[in-house]
């Protein structure tokens, strides 16, 4: 079976690319090969079933800052096709998006099914074949022959063998396809999880799941295991690499929320090297240093001298967290501010600004999780998303060593890559 364009992977990037290829040149014979019975499985579950399509960040220079891997390479592509273009794509197809206060964008319907219906409808309208239950098992390059003067690709699925002039690989984080690409000469950056939450068992956060507060979190190098990555962290010229600030959510298992998820993404490789066992320091009042909070507590001691430490709303912190931190210092429940000692004040200031926790493992962030690693970015031409190693081979989406923090940025990578790859395929 001969095609002009074959796409491996019926996910976000695969569908988006197929639609743009077929729109740009309706005469091309295009097919998507999807291993599953259903297509767009991740889109379906994304964003808690609402699909966080993109982020309301329309400046490419700002947008790239959300990509721990791909930051440099995506700048040009985002100038060509950014979040605004994604919004326009969906609006032109009758799917208005809405912006949430934190910048995340969702379909107004609040349902990922709207996006799936749009994509599937578009493939039908444009005559794109969607071949389900068609797991790809092999890929081979075809040298130029009479039938394929520019060469092409032979793709074997569990059902059939196909030949195509151009091949787009959009199979997401799939080890089998990475292995096939490695066999063809591509370098695969070893995959590690990104976007996860931290497992922590500690009395100071026990019994208060759901409490959320602004915090600064720093990974600290206390353990000797995995010293290699931590040394490189310490000597890094980028000091924010493993420090983040933002809302921190206490969960049943430990900590989550943007402050933690950002760390998990930026530190994906380092934390993997530590086997997800390390220490963190939390400043629960990020606008203060320890000395500053000590001064503040001394003022509270003066003003609130007759009140108990435990029951005073001394600082801007959720009440239940304050109680846990006060208890952690060993301050008795009935101790009044008038009677607090200097060392107790220091302990409290320390708990508030340099609160150390031991992380012991990670958990999946259910709203969104991605894999760092994939096809080495040095081997991709970001003007066309074509392989620099093999002709007529293109990539888009999570298969590449690109990933982002949570917020709609991972899909934006898929849309941008798919659009530019489609242009590269049709134009080349």
The helix/strand/coil state of 418 is helix
# residues contacting ligand FAD (CB under 6 A): 38
> What is the radius of gyration, based on Cα positions, of the chain?
26
For residues 3 and 189, give the distance between their C-alpha atoms in angstroms, rounded to a whole number. Answer: 30
Q: What are the backbone dihedrals phi and psi of residue 424, each rounded to the nearest 5 degrees, phi first?
A: -65, -40
Decide if residue 410 touches ligand FAD (CB under 6 A).
yes
For residues 217 and 137, give the distance between their C-alpha atoms in angstroms, rounded to a whole number. Answer: 44
Q: What DSSP string runs through 172-197?
A: -S-HHHHHHHHHTT--EEEEEEESEE
Q: Assess contact for 218 and 248: CB atoms under 8 A.
A: no
Contacts of 353 (CB under 8 A, 6+ apart): 283, 284, 285, 288, 289, 290, 293
Decide if residue 9 touches ligand FAD (CB under 6 A).
yes
CB of 256 to ligand FAD, least distance (A): 14
CB of 49 to ligand FAD, least distance (A): 9
| Contact stretch for ligand FAD (CB under 6 A) within 8-16, 67-75, 305-313, 379-387 | 8-16
Residue from 3, 7, 11, 288 in contact with ligand FAD (CB under 6 A): 11
CB of 385 to ligand FAD, least distance (A): 12
Residue from 42, 163, 165, 301 in contact with ligand FAD (CB under 6 A): 42
Decide if residue 98 touches ligand FAD (CB under 6 A).
no
What value, to the nearest 5°, has the Cα angle with vertex 50 and ends 44 and 52?
95
Tokens of 231: 């040394």
| Binding to ligand FAD, residues 139-178 (CB under 6 A) | 170-172, 174, 176-177
Decide if residue 397 touches ligand FAD (CB under 6 A).
yes
Decide if residue 36 touches ligand FAD (CB under 6 A).
yes
Decide if residue 414 touches ligand FAD (CB under 6 A).
yes
What value, to the nearest 5°, has the Cα angle with vertex 391 and ends 60 and 73?
20
CA 353 to chain centre: 28
Decide if residue 7 touches ligand FAD (CB under 6 A).
no
CB of 381 to ligand FAD, least distance (A): 18
| Contact stretch for ligand FAD (CB under 6 A) within 70-78, 138-146, 337-345, 395-403 | 395-403
Residue from 119, 369, 385, 415 in contact with ligand FAD (CB under 6 A): 369
The helix/strand/coil state of 305 is coil
> For the chain, how many helices (H) and strands (E)?
14, 21
Residue from 25, 44, 45, 298 in contact with ligand FAD (CB under 6 A): 45
- For residue 199, the 8-state DSSP code is E
Which is closer to ligand FAD, CB of 17 or CB of 255? 17
Site residues (CB under 6 A) for ligand FAD? 8-14, 33-36, 41-42, 45-47, 51-52, 135-136, 170-172, 174, 176-177, 367-370, 397-399, 408-411, 414
């Amino acid at each position: 079976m001969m095609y002009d364009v074959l796409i491996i992977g019926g996910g976000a990037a695969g569908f988006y690319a197929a639609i743009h290829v077929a729109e740009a040149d309706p005469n091309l014979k295009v097919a998507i090969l999807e291993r599953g019975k259903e297509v767009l499985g991740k889109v379906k579950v994304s964003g808690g079933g609402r699909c966080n399509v993109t982020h309301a960040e329309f400046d490419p220079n700002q947008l790239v800052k959300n990509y721990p891997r791909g930051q440099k390479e995506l700048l040009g592509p985002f100038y060509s096709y950014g979040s605004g273009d994604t919004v326009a794509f969906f609006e032109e197809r009758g799917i208005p998006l809405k912006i949430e206060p934190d910048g995340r964008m969702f379909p107004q319907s609040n349902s990922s099914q709207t996006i799936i219906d749009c994509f599937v409808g578009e493939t039908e309208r444009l005559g794109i074949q969607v071949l389900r239950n068609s797991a790809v098992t092999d890929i081979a390059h075809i040298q130029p022959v009479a039938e394929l003067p520019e060469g092409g690709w032979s793709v074997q699925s569990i059902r059939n063998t196909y030949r195509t002039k151009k091949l787009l690989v959009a199979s997401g984080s799939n080890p089998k396809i990475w292995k096939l690409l490695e066999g063809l000469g591509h370098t695969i950056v070893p995959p590690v999880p990104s976007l996860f939450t931290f497992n922590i068992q500690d009395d100071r956060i026990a019994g208060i799941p759901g409490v959320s507060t602004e915090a600064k979190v720093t990974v600290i190098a206390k353990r000797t295991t995995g010293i290699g990555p931590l040394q490189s962290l310490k000597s890094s010229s980028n000091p924010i690499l493993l420090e983040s600030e933002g809302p921190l959510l206490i969960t049943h298992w430990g900590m989550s929320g943007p402050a933690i998820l950002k760390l998990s993404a930026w530190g994906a490789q380092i934390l993997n090297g530590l086997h997800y066992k390390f220490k963190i320091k939390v400043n629960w009042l990020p606008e203060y240093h320890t000395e500053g909070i000590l001064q503040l507590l001394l003022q509270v001691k003066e003003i609130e001298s007759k009140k108990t430490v435990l029951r005073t709303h001394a600082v801007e912190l959720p009440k239940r967290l304050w109680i846990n931190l006060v208890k952690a210092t060993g301050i008795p429940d009935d101790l009044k501010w008038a009677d607090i000692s200097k060392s107790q004040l220091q302990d409290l200031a320390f708990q508030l600004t340099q609160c150390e926790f031991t992380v012991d493992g990670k958990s999946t962030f259910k709203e969104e999780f991605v894999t760092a690693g994939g096809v080495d970015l040095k081997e991709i031409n970001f003007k066309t998303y074509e392989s620099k190693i093999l002709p007529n081979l293109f990539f888009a989406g999570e298969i590449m060593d690109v990933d982002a923090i949570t917020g709609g940025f991972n899909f934006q990578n898929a849309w941008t890559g798919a659009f530019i790859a489609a242009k590269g395929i049709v134009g080349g």
